[in-house]
């Protein structure tokens, strides 16, 4: 029996995320997710392409998933409904850190203190990743803004986007990443792989070891994701290929509103184009499918072996 198609959303399901109005909150939340993400990093075995570091959307926010602390198991979860970070041990013990106007330094101290009180020893490298001129967590009194309303909007947007990304991921039977949230670049992403090795990535990302970038891009990818506005000044979806195949750049693609950024080497689709569309799901899926098809065709991927029919199983051929 074919798989049931996901329910479709309406524009009302997609909240407005004007970057100018919530950039201070987003920057603070970005750094808070880095604290939790670095805890996940040191408490989890390495998984290819740094998949072990990512956070995952939940009905209430973002979670680390269960982590091992020697013999103990615990989970750290951002609750963006009641606005607290929950630290929960599998034996029932738990503590929380309130999400409110508070500095990164104060948040960092509170998280590490609560871990110690729960007998969950952990040490992390406290300089933020992928941020130029980053301030170590324990010294960052500059970033302290938290607007619960915009944090909730961000969460609701992530849930809609993750749902559509998951439908897109289901159409591929080759190697694909989970739909996951990278706290370094503060984006939700999903990546498809051709199965072929790629040339070494040059690296050069601020506060991000070149060898990590090389491992992350060890194989050919077509990747897509969502930035809430950091680095762009407006929320947008992105798509790129590594290595960039000849013929990929600068094409006129649908849906209307799709842009090519020569500076980034990526296609962009403003979030508001999706949010304001009569059928947001179809517009976003069109962007994902069209940018992938361009990348895979230009790079000569064996598409018939990698793609699944919509609502079906197995390769398309």
DSSP string, the chain: -PPPPPPPP-GGGS----HHHHHHHHHHHHHHHHHHHHHHHHHS---GGGGGG-BEE-SSEEE---EEETTEEEEEEEETTTTEEEEEETTS-EEEEE-SS--HHHHHHHHHHHHHHTT-------SPSS-TTPPPGGG--S-----HHHHHHHHHHHHHHHHHHHHHHTTB-S-B--SEEETTTTEEEEEEEEEEE-PPP----TTS-HHHHHHHTSEEEEEEEEESSTTTSS-EEEEEEES--TT-TT---SSTT-EEETTTTEEEEEHHHHHTSSSHHHHHHHHHHHHHHHHHHHHT--HHHHB--TTS-S---
Higher local confidence (pLDDT), 1 or 269: 269
Of 91, 114, 139, the position where a domain reaches its end is 139
Q: What pLDDT shows up at residue 139? A: 98
Q: Do 181 and 272 belong together in one domain?
A: yes
283 domain residue, yes or no: yes
Q: Do 198 and 226 belong together in one domain?
A: yes
Q: Kindly report the backbone phi and psi dihedral angles of residue 181, in degrees, each rounded to the nearest multiple of 5, phi listed first.
A: -110, 115
Of 139, 158, 177, the position where a domain reaches its end is 139
Over the stretch 165-195, which tens digit does the pLDDT of each residue have?
A: 999 999 999 999 999 999 999 999 999 999 9
Q: How many Cα atoms within 13 Å fall on the side-chain side of residue 28?
A: 22
**Residue 31 structure tokens:** 């750094």
- What is the total count of domains within the chain? 2
Q: Do 159 and 300 belong together in one domain?
A: yes
**307: buried, middle or exposed (CB in 10 Å: 19+, 13-18, 0-12)?**
buried
Q: What pLDDT shows up at residue 308? A: 83
11 domain residue, yes or no: no
Q: Do 292 and 173 belong together in one domain?
A: yes
252 domain residue, yes or no: yes
1 domain residue, yes or no: no
Over the stretch 193-239, which tens digit does the pLDDT of each residue have?
A: 999 999 999 999 999 999 999 999 999 999 999 999 999 999 999 99
312 domain residue, yes or no: no
Of 80, 112, 139, the position where a domain reaches its end is 139
Kindly give the pairing relationship between strand 72-79 and strand 84-89. Answer: antiparallel
Q: Do 154 and 273 belong together in one domain?
A: yes
Q: Kindly report the backbone phi and psi dihedral angles of residue 35, in degrees, each rounded to the nearest multiple of 5, phi listed first.
A: -60, -50
Q: Do 163 and 287 belong together in one domain?
A: yes
Q: Do 184 and 227 belong together in one domain?
A: yes
2 domain residue, yes or no: no
5 domain residue, yes or no: no
Q: Do 171 and 118 belong together in one domain?
A: no
**Residue 120 structure tokens:** 């969950």
Look at residues 294, 211, 279, 212 and name the one whose alpha carbon lies nearest to residue 247: 294
272 domain residue, yes or no: yes
Q: Do 95 and 121 belong together in one domain?
A: yes
Which range marks the domain in which residue 175 is found? 148-306
Over the stretch 110-150, which tens digit does the pLDDT of each residue have?
A: 999 999 999 999 999 999 999 999 999 999 999 999 999 99
Q: Tell me how far apart the alpha carbons of residues 149 and 147 are, in angstroms, rounded to a whole number.
A: 6
Per the document, the length of the chain is 317
Q: Do 84 and 161 belong together in one domain?
A: no
The pTM assigned to this predicted structure is: 0.95
Q: What pLDDT shows up at residue 3? A: 45
Q: Kindly report the backbone phi and psi dihedral angles of residue 309, in degrees, each rounded to the nearest multiple of 5, phi listed first.
A: -65, 145
Average pLDDT over residues 25-30: 98
Q: Do 86 and 218 belong together in one domain?
A: no
Q: Do 80 and 127 belong together in one domain?
A: yes
Over the stretch 63-118, which tens digit does the pLDDT of each residue have?
A: 999 999 999 999 999 999 999 999 999 999 999 999 999 999 999 999 999 999 99
């Amino acid at each position: 029996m074919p798989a049931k198609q996901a329910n479709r959303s309406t524009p009302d399901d997609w909240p407005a995320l004007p970057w100018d109005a919530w950039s201070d909150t987003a920057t603070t939340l970005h750094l808070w997710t880095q604290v939790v993400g670095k805890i996940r990093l040191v408490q989890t075995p390495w998984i290819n392409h740094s998949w072990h570091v990512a956070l995952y959307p939940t009905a209430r926010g973002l979670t680390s998933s269960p982590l091992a602390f020697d013999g103990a198991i615990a989970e750290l979860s951002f609750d963006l409904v009641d606005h607290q970070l929950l630290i929960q041990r599998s034996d029932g013990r738990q503590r929380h850190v309130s999400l409110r106007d508070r500095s990164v330094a104060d948040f960092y101290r509170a998280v590490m203190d609560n871990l110690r009180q729960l007998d969950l020893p952990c040490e992390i490298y406290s300089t933020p990743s992928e941020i130029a001129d980053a301030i170590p967590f324990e010294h960052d009194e500059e970033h302290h803004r938290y607007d619960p309303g915009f944090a909730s909007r961000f969460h609701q947007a992530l849930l809609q986007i993750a749902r559509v990304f998951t439908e897109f991921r289901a159409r591929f039977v080759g190697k694909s990443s989970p739909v996951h949230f990278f706290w370094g670049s503060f984006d939700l992403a999903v990546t498809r792989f051709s199965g072929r090795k790629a040339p070494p990535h040059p690296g050069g990302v601020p506060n991000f070891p070149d060898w990590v970038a090389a491992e992350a891009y060890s194989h050919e990818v077509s990747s897509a994701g969502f930035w809430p506005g950091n680095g762009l000044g407006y929320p947008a979806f992105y798509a790129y290929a590594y290595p960039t195949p000849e013929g990929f750049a600068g094409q006129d693609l649908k849906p209307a509103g799709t842009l090519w950024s020569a500076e980034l080497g990526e296609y962009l689709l403003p979030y508001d184009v999706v949010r304001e569309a009569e059928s947001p799901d179809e517009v976003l899926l069109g962007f994902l499918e069209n940018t992938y098809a361009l990348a895979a065709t230009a790079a000569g991927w064996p598409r018939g072996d990698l793609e699944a029919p919509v609502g079906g199983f197995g390769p398309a051929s």
